[in-house]
Amino acid sequence: MKLVFATHNQNKLLEVKALLPKSIELLSLDDIGCTEEIPETSDTIEGNAIQKANYVSEKYNVNCFADDTGLEVKALNDEPGVLSARYAGPDKDSKANITKLLEALKDENDREARFKTAIAVNIQREKILFVGIANGAISNEERGNKGFGYDPIFIPEGYDKTFAELPLSVKNKISHRAKAMHQLIDYLK
């Protein structure tokens, strides 16, 4: 089965490919010639995932899924949330996002946070939504060089290392994206 993952993000693509069974040929937006920026105008993570999946399936007539992920920090009233990628501005600069978040938490003792991923699936006109959550906390500084986005400052519950310090094999068992992807994989079976 061919399935399009509505992303240009090669890091996300690699993470997801490692999870999917070999019977599924995963294609990216680049593979189907989609170069435009897909609108993400919803005020929820779930809404953005649905919006992207609908856009790709309708415009390109393909089976696809799209995700949206947000980091929700309790002490910041669940910010950055749906604005996680653009927290420090429209450039989607991960380093600037991390700097802004750590600055916002510099005098805060409550570092509780969670990553949430929503995956919207459009296969043969059937539409389904899966949500995965990884609870944890924000570190005081960046640690590790693996992963992407907020991984260098997110410590998953039950661990003392950030996502960026953990091997991909571990992250792919406990992350928000992995949890949502496992629901997708079960559905595809």
Q: Which residues are annotated as a binding site for substrate?
A: 7-12, 69, 148-151, 171, 176-177
Beta bridge partners of 113: 73, 136
The string of DSSP letters for 55-113 reads: HHHHHH---EEEEEEEEEEGGGTTEEETTGGGTT-TT--HHHHHHHHHHHTTT-S--EE
Give the DSSP letter of residue 151.
G
- Cite the annotated binding site for Mg(2+) by residue number: 68
Residues catalogued as catalytic: 68
Rg (CA), the chain: 16
- Which amino acid belongs to residue 117? T
Helix (H) or strand (E) holding 112: strand 112-123
What is the rounded distance in angstroms from the CA atom of residue 33 to the CA atom of residue 131?
Answer: 28
Structure tokens at 59: 């415009």
How many C-beta atoms surround the C-beta of residue 38 within 10 A? 18
- Cite the annotated binding site by residue number: 7-12, 68-69, 148-151, 171, 176-177
Q: Across 15-90, where does the E strand assignment appear?
A: 25-28, 64-73, 79-81
